[in-house]
A and B are shown apart, each in its own frame.
Chain A
Amino acid sequence: MNEADLAQVLSQVRAGDADAWGELYRQYAPAIFRFCRRLLPAREDAEDATTEIFMKVRQKLGTYDSSRPFTAWLYKVASNHCWDTLRRRRIRQDLETGDVDAMPLEHPDPGQLERLQNEHTSKEVRTGLAKLPDRARAALVLRYYADMSYDEIADTLGVRRAFVGVLLLRARHQLRDALGETEAGLAAKSGGRKS
């Protein structure tokens, strides 16, 4: 859907056209569903969230500033919804901003990094992602799936902008560790079977 078509569909949706709403939903629902799948722990949560996000989109469409990209606004609504969902489930966040700032980061071995990338499929990466703390997972998804800016990530996750880079890097380290643990586990299993 090009920009002109999108603008027309959006104006029709604002005017209450059900067909236009259906078209808008069909266009963006799969991406939002996948976004929710990566951000929320259970499939059922993602399904519910997708429906609820689009209900919000329909309600809030009047507040959308058409000078900005629609997808950016849509992901902002989706990320706020998902983050609220996650936050309601936690009395205490997994990692507070101060903790993130204080964490030492070991300098990685570039060779090991490349090996990780070569040896793990997309599915394994997403499995590893699911093991991360909420904030780390959210940071990676907002940045590398929804393509959000550092300002938008900071605003959504409630951290200072200066911490977003640290947060992202920390999340990468945690993902590398999670994938490394999977490897170690598989190696131990195969070793055990051999013996």
Chain B
Amino acid sequence: MSPSDDPSASHFDEVTGLLYLEGQLDDDHAREVAEHLASCAACSQLLRALEKESVWLRESLTADDEPIPAHLIAAPQRGAAHWGWIAAFGLCAGGLYTLWNGMVEPWLAQASQAGFSQGNVLTMLFFTGAFWKGWDAMRSLTEFLAMATLGTVAIWLLRKQWRRFTAIAFVMGALACALALPPAASAADIEHGDPSYTLPAGQEVKNDLIVVADRTRIDGDVDGDLIVFSNTLTVNGHVKGDILAFGSAVRVNGPVDGNIRICSQALTLDSNVAKNVMVWTGALELDEKSAIGGSLTMFSGASELNGKVAGDLLAYSGTLEINGSLARDATIRGDRLVIGPTGEIQGQTKYTGRRQPEVASGAKLGSPIQITVPKRGPDYSRVGYYWHRVLFWGASFLFGLMLLLLAPGFFADAGQAAKRVGPAIGFGVLFLFATPIAAVIACITIVGLGVGITAFLLWGIAIYAAQVFVASWLGEKLLGEGVGMGPAIGRLALGLAIVRVLTMLPYAGQLVNFCVVVWGIGAIVLALHRRVTPQLAAAA
């Protein structure tokens, strides 16, 4: 400011006005401004406006507009508490694995010796059945998927810390990971038919053979696995590894030392297969001379089994006709089961279907067929149905109550996360389908069986727990946001009751159930992410 006779010619600037208002000018400068203000209406008006703006800013910024989130209500404790939870989970997972190894598996082994093996479909599929033994052929693919899944999850968890890493550290880390990867298992011959491919008799492929063609004929021998994508496939030669094929019509006449996995419209087996067979097919025919050394798992429209199966049979088939022999148990679900006069099942036979099975007089059965007739949908006329619904509600309420009491912070987090409907559903879909895939991958790769089984168990718990958080959200919508344990329990009870009623609706109930599971799992994932992230930050 430069004082003069005409006050209007010496207005102070806005910065000076602000500094004057805020008491930041030295005494002499402040005095000059005060003298000028006494004679200048324009500057006085500006100063008043700035002062009002200061008050306005202060009021706007300090307004108590947003309550503190529920999960921040409790004071943070030292990091040990969170690590304690992680350690507890680790111990729990280890305990479950020990329980499985120490008790469940020996019990299953004893049951097997007593002739009760393979009764459990899950056990059959994952531990003794075809799923388990035949995945070697897809090892490299599944390892890649495992790495990709783990990498994606790690990036997602670490994304907030990402900026702390330098590009060099990232590149070096990636290189280290790449070096740590095992080398490719073996080479493979890749053949593209133009349009057909034939491996002549007398020739032998020493590696795995991968064929993509319109028509494929294998008359020679394959020393490794045979992987075929072809409209028609005929195998007359000897395959020493596995056969993995996708096609319209597939016929296998030659011997196979490994497993067979085939997805086709029609499949005919007239060969000796040393290990297991798993097929997804419209029509399956197992010729009289054929023999399967392991188990047969089939998803088929119409099937005729005339050969021998040394292992178990798990069949989902529209029509199934058995004229051959099964050395062990059979679990069959379908529309029609016919056991012909030459048919033989030495183990137990469990059949689920609407029609009674047709058993010819000459058929040999190790024990009477256990028949289950499925019912279409729930029986709404039965009082027992409603009683069971109430029991289910009670069980889920107790489960939710336990979660609320044992982990109130996590419960609140998941409840908050459920409010973010879009992200919750997105993550829910992802984890609902990706977790079992990752768990299977974990089971069959170096990650380990224990991790895979634990992932399955946690996945199952998450599916059950999902309803709790969606119900809590629903309860809050109806009853409002009351503070404290009482209102939270009330919201949970009401929400679960509504969810239960909605899932009882004919047809729509299934959809509601699915939506609740997806939504709830997403909320759990988001809440877990929120819990894990600060630990990562602390560790970084």
Q: Do A and B bind each other?
A: yes
Query: What is the interface of chain A, defined by CB distance below 8 A to chain B?
Result: 18, 21-22, 24-26, 29-30, 33-34, 37-38, 44, 47-48, 50-52, 54-55, 58, 88-89, 105, 107-108, 110, 113-114, 117, 122-123, 125-126, 129, 140-141, 144-145, 150, 165-166, 168-169, 172, 175
B76 adjacent to A144 (CB under 8 Å): no
Cα separation A144 to B55 with both chains bound (whole Å):
9
On chain B, the residues within 8 Å of A117 by CB distance are: 52-53, 56
On chain B, the residues within 8 Å of A89 by CB distance are: 163
On chain B, the residues within 8 Å of A24 by CB distance are: 75
The contact of B164 among A29, A88, A169, A172, by CB within 8 Å, is A88
- What is the size category of the interface that chain B forms with chain A? 35 or more
A122 adjacent to B18 (CB under 8 Å): no
Name the residue of chain A whose CB is nearest to the CB of B79. A55
Q: Which of A50, A122, A150 has the most CB of B within 10 A?
A: A122
Cα separation A38 to B58 with both chains bound (whole Å):
12
Name the residue of chain A whose CB is nearest to the CB of B71. A47
Does B187 belong to the interface (CB within 8 Å)? no
Q: Separation in Å of the B460 CB from the closest CB of chain A? A: 29
Cα separation A54 to B77 with both chains bound (whole Å):
9
Does B15 belong to the interface (CB within 8 Å)? yes
B46 adjacent to A126 (CB under 8 Å): no
Ranked nearest first, the 7 interchain pairs of A and B with the lowest CB-CB distance are A25-B75, A125-B60, A110-B49, A122-B60, A145-B61, A113-B49, A122-B63
Given contacts A107-B13, A145-B61, 13 further A-B contacts (CB under 8 A): A29-B72, A47-B71, A47-B530, A48-B534, A55-B538, A105-B13, A107-B11, A122-B60, A126-B60, A129-B61, A144-B57, A144-B58, A144-B61
On chain A, the residues within 8 Å of B64 by CB distance are: 30, 34
Per-position contact with A for B528-540: 1 when CB-CB < 8 Å, else 0? 0010011001100
Per-position contact with A for B360-391: 1 when CB-CB < 8 Å, else 0? 00000000000000000000000000000000
A165 adjacent to B76 (CB under 8 Å): no
A110 adjacent to B46 (CB under 8 Å): yes
**Given contacts A110-B46, A165-B15, A166-B15, is CB(A141)–CB(B72) below 8 Å?**
no
Does B69 belong to the interface (CB within 8 Å)? yes
Does B5 belong to the interface (CB within 8 Å)? no
Q: Separation in Å of the B406 CB from the closest CB of chain A? A: 19
A48 adjacent to B74 (CB under 8 Å): no
Does B289 belong to the interface (CB within 8 Å)? no
The contact of B53 among A25, A129, A172, by CB within 8 Å, is A172
Does B39 belong to the interface (CB within 8 Å)? no
Q: Which of B68, B75, B76 has the most CB of A within 10 A?
A: B75
The contact of A144 among B50, B54, B78, by CB within 8 Å, is B54
Name the residue of chain A whose CB is nearest to the CB of B16. A165
Q: Separation in Å of the B19 CB from the closest CB of chain A? A: 5
Cα separation A89 to B537 with both chains bound (whole Å):
15
Does B67 belong to the interface (CB within 8 Å)? yes
Query: What is the interface of chain B, defined by CB distance below 8 A to chain A?
Result: 11, 13-15, 18-19, 22, 24, 45-46, 48-50, 52-54, 56-69, 71-79, 160, 163-164, 530, 533-534, 537-538
A110 adjacent to B72 (CB under 8 Å): no
Cα separation A105 to B46 with both chains bound (whole Å):
14
**Given contacts A34-B66, A117-B56, A145-B62, is CB(A50)–CB(B72) below 8 Å?**
yes
A150 adjacent to B53 (CB under 8 Å): no
On chain A, the residues within 8 Å of B72 by CB distance are: 29, 33, 47, 50-51
Cα separation A168 to B24 with both chains bound (whole Å):
13
On chain A, the residues within 8 Å of B18 by CB distance are: 165, 168-169, 172
Cα separation A126 to B50 with both chains bound (whole Å):
18
A30 adjacent to B60 (CB under 8 Å): no
A29 adjacent to B75 (CB under 8 Å): yes
On chain B, the residues within 8 Å of A122 by CB distance are: 59-61, 63, 65
Q: Separation in Å of the A7 CB from the closest CB of chain B? A: 19
B61 adjacent to A105 (CB under 8 Å): no
Q: Separation in Å of the B531 CB from the closest CB of chain A? A: 11
On chain A, the residues within 8 Å of B69 by CB distance are: 33, 47
A126 adjacent to B164 (CB under 8 Å): no
A52 adjacent to B534 (CB under 8 Å): yes
Cα separation A54 to B14 with both chains bound (whole Å):
38
Cα separation A26 to B75 with both chains bound (whole Å):
7
Cα separation A52 to B41 with both chains bound (whole Å):
50
Q: List 30 A-B contacts (CB under 8 A).
A: A21-B75, A22-B74, A24-B75, A29-B68, A29-B72, A33-B66, A34-B62, A47-B71, A47-B530, A48-B160, A48-B533, A50-B68, A51-B72, A54-B76, A55-B79, A107-B14, A110-B49, A113-B50, A113-B52, A114-B49, A114-B52, A125-B61, A126-B60, A126-B63, A145-B62, A150-B24, A165-B15, A165-B19, A172-B18, A175-B57
On chain B, the residues within 8 Å of A33 by CB distance are: 66, 68-69, 72
On chain A, the residues within 8 Å of B48 by CB distance are: 110
B75 adjacent to A105 (CB under 8 Å): no
Name the residue of chain B whose CB is nearest to the CB of A38. B61
The contact of A169 among B15, B61, B78, B538, by CB within 8 Å, is B15
